[in-house]
Structure formats: structure tokens, C-alpha cells
Amino acid sequence: MAIYSSITLSLFLLSSFASAEFFAHPLRPDPAPMACGSSPDDATCPTCNAAPRDCHPRVRRSWSTLTVEEKEKFIRALKIIKNTPTPNGQQIYGMEFINYDEFILQHAAAVADPRGDQAHLDQHFSLFHRLLLLRFENTVLSVDPSLQGIPYWDLRDGVESVFGPGEVEFGSTTGTGPNHEVQDGAFAEGWSVSEYEHEMTLGARHLPDDFPLIFSTATGVRLLRSSDVPTNQFVRYPTCTDEVPGPLMYSAANFETCVSQKNFEDFYWCLESPTTNGAHELGHFWIGSADDDGKKFGFGCPDFAPPNLKLPGVRQGDYIDKLTSPNDPIFMLHHAFIDMLSFSFMRRNPDMADQYWGFKASATVASLPQTEGTFLNDMVSSQWPFLGVELLDNADAPSGELHYWEALCWVGPETAAYTYDAFQDANICQEPASADPSSEPVPDESTVLEPTETAVGDALRGAIGTTSSASTLLVSSWLVAMGAVLLGVVAI
């Protein structure tokens, strides 16, 4: 990957502020990949046979609209998922239960794919995370079906709507511990960065032998993070300034700009653009940030740039560590909001459904290569695929490894099992389920049964066998650093 000079990239960033149409980015292919059926020579669009639902059995609701009791239920379910091994959880809650660390590993496997990042840096980001969220939601509802769906963090409600020290909040945005561990909020206890265990990767297909080596041993054991952070708690480092594009400045106008795009290419790059306060990438940068002893590398600091984050002694906050960013419990809520944005974009453009909203189907001779394995007819993250039999509730849906076009077809705004409370015209099938696991104690890491390799293997093989204007006020020194950030070397 070519490394641009900071000066060149700062000039690029300035030019991107001048144009809200193209959403320029150093990693954006130009010309863009081709959509299916865009000309007689292009790939034929697959036929989607998924019928629109009469109603959706699930609804994902904004965190800020939940009652305290509902928030407590979700937090409790999340801790159960984090602290219960998959075989034990499946014995208690059914086969849809998956331990949280397996979601982290599936995410890491996609990022570390030898062909290139199968989860980020282009349109495929939306669909990989859509399926990861659906798999996670299935697990959450196996623990507590009364939740109806996973919540989302609506960035338009501000950071105070989710972050804070309270018992139903996600902790301070800068960790208060000696290593900037998050020591307040709902996840001060019952949440830590786990050790790598091979048994958790048995759902994968073709992981390279050196896959475990991507994880850090800074604490003396191999933890599920790539950065050398000297604690097994999740960390959020300080920023130098909040006068930068990101969650603090996100607005309804930013939302409207992205969902008003006319094809997947423009929609995706809108999510990453500082001109729209980057609903996705800049959220990771601001929450996770980075640190060394001199605190020069935090988000908004003069030395904050991807190449510098790999220097000796520099530590990345968990939410900026691209491989394992789900270690921060805000991950699922943040990405559920991005998925709601994606659904909104698709709903605005129903006439593009037959062409899969312009999702890339074939590569072009572009200034930058396009990642192999991430086109419309490719399998989603084939090193660790998503299985239809595990994710989809429609009897006519595919049961094997899902491809991108199948994800768009069967997990779309009209066809998915879930919808969002933001869509007032969406028809919800049923009232919340009555099941309530409140009598079930939260498993503690020190007391849960350790699974045997055979038990894990049998369980997984069984499942597989069943087939704003404020943004422009950046100081010039920060523009230079941010230009390097947009290289995407650590784009989340």
C-alpha cells in the first residue's frame, strides 16, 4: 500500500471539505468498481427470490429510548454472552448461543485475511457487519427474547446518551484507571480482554497457521488484541482536543447526507468522510484513541497518524485496534446504528433493488486495487463464513455460506427478521416475548465450567453440518496528521 506524504494528504483533506459530493478518500478506487447489469458487458445481476415480509418479528430500538429495566436486561445478557463458553451456553440457551469472544475472532479473521481486509475499507464493510450483528442478535435473543432485538446508539442523540459512569452507561470515554482502563459504568466488572484459545476458531475454514501470532503477549499471555496494552481490561485513551470531526459533532444533517446517496459506493464513503463527521471510522478513533508515555498520539494530537500508531511504545485503545475492536462493548450498538443508516439508504432507493443498490460486482482498472473476495457474487468473509442455516429464519432462504448478494437479498429492509424503530411505517409482528432469564445468575469467569475441546468441536461441527460546519475549524497541524489517518492503515 502506497504511503502518501502528510502534506499531500492534508491537501487532500482540505479538498474533501470543499466537495460534499464525491467524498474523496486516499483508499477510494477511482474509477469505482462496476455494479451488476450497468452495461451489457458487466456481470448479470443475480435474482433475489426473497419476498417482502408482512411484518418483522424483531425491532432494534435506540438506546436512549429504552427504560432502565430494558437497559439492565441487555447489559446482563451481554455479560452472560461474554462469560459463558459456547458449549455451556448452548446447553442452557440453545444452539444459537455463541460466546462473545468468537465474534471478536471472526472479526479479526476477516481483517487479517491474506487477500486483504474482508470487513472494511469499501462497500463490503456494511454487509460483513450486518451479518455479524445478526449472528450476535440471535445470541442475545437466545438469552433474553423479551429484548426483541439489539439496541443501537443513535449518534444524533449525542455521546451522553450512552457514555457515562452510571450503572446503565458504557463508562467514561477516557478510561480512569492507571492504564486508562475503563473502571466505571456498566462494564467496570464482568468484562475483560480474553486470552486466545484455539477452540474458539473451530467455526473458521482456512485460517493460516500463524493467525494466533497477530495477538499481543504484552501481559505475558496471548490476549485477543494486537496492540501491546499492559492490562487485560479494555482501555480508552485521552484525546488532545474534541474540536475535530467525529461523534461530538454528528448531526441530523450528517445522517441525511449519507442516506440520500444513490449508490453503495457513495453511501459507504460518506460514512467515513470528515465532511459528514464520519459516523463509522471517526467514532472508533475518538473513543479508542492512542497513547504513549508522552500522550502525543491520541486522536487530535499532532502525532496521531496510522504509521505512528505502530511505533514502539505506542498503545492503541481497544476501539481503535481494528482487528479486535469488538472488545469495547460499545461496538455492537455503534455498528447497529451504521446498519440502520444502511437500511435507510436502501429504503430511499427502492428502484435500485434489482441492481443491488449498485453494490460492486466487478473490478475496474483503478488507481488502487480492489480487495479480492469482496464483490457481489463472492462469499462473505470466506475464511470464516456466515451460514444461512444459523442466521436466516425463512424456510426458502439459502442454508450454506452466504454471499454478498444473498445478504442484500435476504437481510434487507423489507426481508430481514428485524427492523428499526426509526422506520415508523414498519410493521412489527408481535409484542415482546414473555421469557425473562432474571432468575438465572450471571456466570462469573471464575466459576463457569471450562469446555473440553471435544464439546466445542461437536457443538460447532453440529451447527455446520446442518448446513457540519464546525468540522472545518481544524487547525492546520491537525490536518496534516489527520491526512495520514485517512490512509486507512488502521481504518476500522
Q: What is the pTM of this model?
A: 0.86
Q: Which amino acid type is present at position 32?
A: A
Picking from 348, 159, 393, the residue whose alpha carbon sits closest to that of residue 258 is 348
Task: Please state the domain extents for the chain.
Answer: 29-467
> Grid coordinates standing for 408?
442484500
The CATH-assigned architecture of domain 29-467 is Orthogonal Bundle (1.10)
Picking from 299, 241, 219, the residue whose alpha carbon sits closest to that of residue 490 is 299
- Count CB atoms within 10 A of the CB of residue 55: 10
Tell me, rounded to whole angstroms, the distance of Cα 405 from its chain centroid: 19
Cis peptide leading into residue 31 (ω within 30°): yes
3-state secondary structure at position 52: coil
Are the C-beta atoms of residues 230 and 179 closer than 8 Å to each other?
Answer: yes
- Main-chain dihedrals φ then ψ at residue 279, nearest 5 degrees: -50, -30
**pLDDT (tens place) for every residue of the chain, 492 residues total:** 233 233 323 333 333 333 346 888 888 888 888 999 877 666 789 999 999 999 999 999 999 999 999 999 999 999 999 999 999 999 999 999 999 999 999 999 999 999 999 999 999 999 999 999 999 999 999 999 999 999 999 999 999 999 999 999 999 999 999 999 999 999 999 999 999 999 999 889 889 999 999 999 999 999 999 999 999 999 999 998 877 788 999 999 999 999 999 999 999 999 999 999 999 999 999 999 999 777 788 998 988 887 788 888 899 999 999 999 999 999 999 999 999 999 999 999 999 999 999 999 988 877 777 899 999 999 999 999 999 999 999 999 999 999 999 999 999 999 999 999 999 999 999 765 444 544 454 454 443 444 333 333 343 333 333 333 333 333 333 443 444 444 444 456
CA distances to 66, 176, 332, 417, 421 from 424, in Å: 17, 40, 23, 16, 7
